[in-house]
Each structure stands twice: as structure tokens, then as C-alpha cells.
Structure 1
């Protein structure tokens, strides 16, 4: 639950991020394209500042900060893509995603890490959260693909602003990047195991988090193999991607949500 000891500047940064994300999303006609871009850039910076504050000493982490970092990475990918594809239309979805993620992390900041946590833990986190971000970006593109395909069937203008094949190509690029990062994350977990969190124990322990992570890895491997060998695309590729993303979500954020919120346990 939200901490009363949260510094005022984190509250201010979070409030600024939420406001700057929400304004161009809920009032799109009021803002020019340049004005909306500036607001999104301001929101992105304020979001980053709020995350740094929540993750600073004493270091706390949990399902909500993990989701917030993931959302920030998705928004980073969106802002980069807009430089190459200025016709991309996803401002409402991106602004809503950012605002909700910031509020969620502020309300559920997580629990303190073990004092004996490994110095390799930040690298493990960076790899894992980057994988989360890449797969989340792939899911966003899959969602836009679905909407675009529907618009084409109804003879409407594509709401995403991008051709279907372009969205599909971008989706698989994010899947490939996420797969590489997830592989590195699993290898780090296998090498360092529980020592990452300073809890000792064996290098590898079969628990629900690792089982879901491995199942998601296998699902994404199947998706990339299916794309390469059998030309999977369209609805089949989207379904497999969503299954893999759901399993990956359960592997950390889902398990932490159960522990922190449903069971009320810090670890």
C-alpha cells in the first residue's frame, strides 16, 4: 500500500507525469501534434524521475514498479517509433497506459530488498524488465494489428496510421529482442539463483516464477520458429504471442501481486 514516507518530490513527479500523459489522451482535439509530443516527452521524463525515486535507497520493488518500468519502456519504444513513423496513431492508448502505470507504482511501491542482495541483481533486473518491455511493445503492436485488420475488413481507414505489414514486422522485431533478453535473464537466474536476492540456497530452484518464465520462453521460441519455418502470421501469431506474454506476466508481476496484495506477504 502507499507509503506515507514517500518524499514530496516523488509525489510531484508522479503527479506531473500523470497529468502530462492524460491531457493529450483525454483531450486530443485541444493539442496540436507538436504540443502533444512535448507533453508526452515531459511525461516520460517525470515518469523516469518518479521511478528513480521509488527505486532509490532504501531499495523497494514489487509488481507495480515492475509494471511501471515496463510501461515506461513501451512508451520509450513508442516515442522512438514516432520519429520514424510520424503517422503512428496510438496517443490515447500510450497516455492512458503511462498514467495508470505511474499511479499504480505510487500506490503499491513494493517491499524492501534483502540487505544481502547480490551486486548482480541490478543487471538481472535490467535484463528481465527490458524483456518485459520488449514483449509488452510487441503486444501493443499485435493489438494495433488486430484493429487495423478489422478496419480493412470494414473498408475503414486504418486507425493505427500504419500498414498492416509494417505493424507485423515491428511486432516480430520486438519479439526477437525480447526473446534474446529473456534468454539472458534466465541464464543469469540459473547461474546466480537465490544469491541474487541474498537468500542463499541452490543456484536453481523450481518454483512457480521460474516455471512460468520457462514456459513463456518456450512459447516465444515456438512463435519465432513458427514464423521462420512455417510463416506464421496474423491471428495465429497474435494468439501465441498473447499466451507467451501472459505466462511471462505471471512469472514475476503476477506472483508478486499474489504475495503482496492477496497474501499480504513482503517476500
Structure 2
């Protein structure tokens, strides 16, 4: 019950922050980055006790559905807040924060994972880099959606609303590829550490996740290479980013949902 109450409070703060940012993007209210950060931080402070509870009894940190939803949503909000201090990424709050709140609410309604043996440092590195990489690329996905909306508006000569609220198109695009590079570095670390520290990355319960993660890595690698050598940008970059992120969602959550919810396996 306490976990659900904290999840509800965090979600309300996240929703309030996202709503203000959304109204800012459509030019209904003045930009208030400190307000958006403050509400998001309050949500994160309600969120963190749920994160801490995962480590309270030597709980297994290797991502299950419950732990993944709580940890990834917290990491995504924390990364967004941190990066927003240096880069104009706060517009992504309109998508990241509601998704974090929804994930937290869903996770709070399922039973907590049973206690398990603590992970070795190598496996913990794999788990943390996986979760953090997913969080960064989730922000990149929202950034891609905003970039796509901005690009479409400019093509139709709509220069009001979201076009005025967002940074210039070139800045938005540069930020998108910076997020993808960071996410790719973390995803690469996750894949390499998995092959080094896990017994068998192609075991029956890990094979689909491994194959889909490798497929997502290939998609992002092609996008980065083609952007650098062939000048890919605009809507093509948006589509490839969203495609890679969709494959990652299937890798991280699709198999876990089938195993832990549909088949009821821990």
C-alpha cells in the first residue's frame, strides 16, 4: 500500500510537470524550466524509496519486469533532469515524465520480486548499463518525436506554436544524435559485459532479448554511420531512431512480460 501511495504521488508530480511543459510547447503558458524541474524532482524523490526498496534484502538487480519498470523510469527522469542543466532537452519531459509515471504505477500494482542472491559486480555492470542505456535511448525517442513534429511543421510553413517553443531544428537534431551516441555507448557496454559475465547470453530465457538487443544495436549503428558518411537527417533519422527504440522495447519488456506475466515464471 505504501508503495502504491508513493507511486501515485510521484506520478501526479510527473504529470503536473509534463502538463506545464506541454502547455509551453503549444505556447499556452510561459516557459518555466525551474518549475518543471522542481515538480519532476519532487516526483523523483517520491520515486526513489521504491528504488531503494529493491536493494533492501539483497534483491536481485538483474532486470525483471518489476525492477526494470521502476529503475528505468527513475533513471530516465534523473538523466533528463541532469542533462537539461546543460542541454535544451527539457521539451522531452512532455513524453518522458508521463511514461515514467505510468510505468511506476504499473510496477507498484504487481508483487515485489522475491529475495535472491546478490549479483556479482560484473553482472551488476551489465544490468545497470542495460537499464541506463534504455533510459537514455527512451529520451532520444521522445526527442525524435519532437524533431519530427518540428520538421513537419516547418515543411508546411507553420512557424508558430511548437516551432517557436523548441530550439532551432539544427540544435534539436544535434542533441538527438548526442543522445543516440550516449545510448549506443551504454548499450555496447551492456552487450559486451553480458557476453563476458553471463554464463550464456543465448540461453533459452535470454536468447530473444540478446537477439533483439543486437538488432537494435545494428539499427543505431547504421543510423550513426549513415548520418556521418551519407548525411542522413530529418525524418529519416526520426524513423530509424523510433525503429531502434521499438526493437529495444521488445527486447527489454516483451520477453519479460511473456515470462513473468503470461507464463507466470519468476
Matching of residue 164 in structure 1 with residue 169 in structure 2:
yes
Aligned to 2:138, which of 111, 136, 139? 136
Aligned to 1:18, which of 4, 8, 11? 11
Scaled by the length of structure 1, what TM-score is found? 0.81
Matching of residue 95 in structure 1 with residue 97 in structure 2:
yes
Q: 2:140 touches 2:176 (CA, 8 Å); kept in 1? A: yes
Instruction: Name the counterpart of 1:182.
Output: 187
Task: Give aligned pairs, total.
Answer: 252
Q: 2:10 touches 2:43 (CA, 8 Å); kept in 1? A: yes
Question: Aligned partners of 1:91 and 1:178: how far apart in 2?
Answer: 18
Unpaired runs of 5+ in structure 1? 1-5, 195-201
Instruction: Name the counterpart of 2:178.
Output: 173
Aligned to 1:121, which of 104, 123, 126? 123
Scaled by the length of structure 2, what TM-score is found? 0.82
Superimposed CA distance per residue, residues 178-197 of structure 1 (whole angstroms, 9 cap, x where no aligned partner): 11111111111111223xxx
Q: 2:14 touches 2:98 (CA, 8 Å); kept in 1? A: yes
Matching of residue 83 in structure 1 with residue 85 in structure 2:
yes
Instruction: Name the counterpart of 2:232.
Output: 232
Question: Aligned partners of 2:261 and 2:169: how far apart in 1?
Answer: 40
Superimposed CA distance per residue, residues 209-249 of structure 1 (whole angstroms, 9 cap, x where no aligned partner): 11111111111111111111111111111222222212222
Aligned partner of residue 71 in structure 1, secondary structure: helix
Question: Aligned partners of 1:86 and 1:175: how far apart in 2?
Answer: 15
Aligned partner of residue 162 in structure 1, secondary structure: coil
Instruction: Name the counterpart of 1:246.
Output: 246
Q: 1:88 touches 1:162 (CA, 8 Å); kept in 2? A: no
Q: Provide the aligned C-alpha RMSD in A.
A: 2.8
Question: Aligned partners of 1:88 and 1:94: how far apart in 2?
Answer: 10
Matching of residue 261 in structure 1 with residue 266 in structure 2:
no
Question: Aligned partners of 1:180 and 1:86: how far apart in 2?
Answer: 21
Instruction: Name the counterpart of 1:57.
Output: 57
Question: Aligned partners of 2:92 and 2:196: how far apart in 1?
Answer: 40
Q: 1:58 touches 1:112 (CA, 8 Å); kept in 2? A: no
Q: 2:57 touches 2:115 (CA, 8 Å); kept in 1? A: no
Distance 1:161 1:39, change over 3 A: same
Distance 1:178 1:161, change over 3 A: same
Distance 1:164 1:67, change over 3 A: farther
Question: Aligned partners of 1:87 and 1:186: how far apart in 2?
Answer: 27
Q: 1:190 touches 1:204 (CA, 8 Å); kept in 2? A: no
1:84 positional shift: 3.8
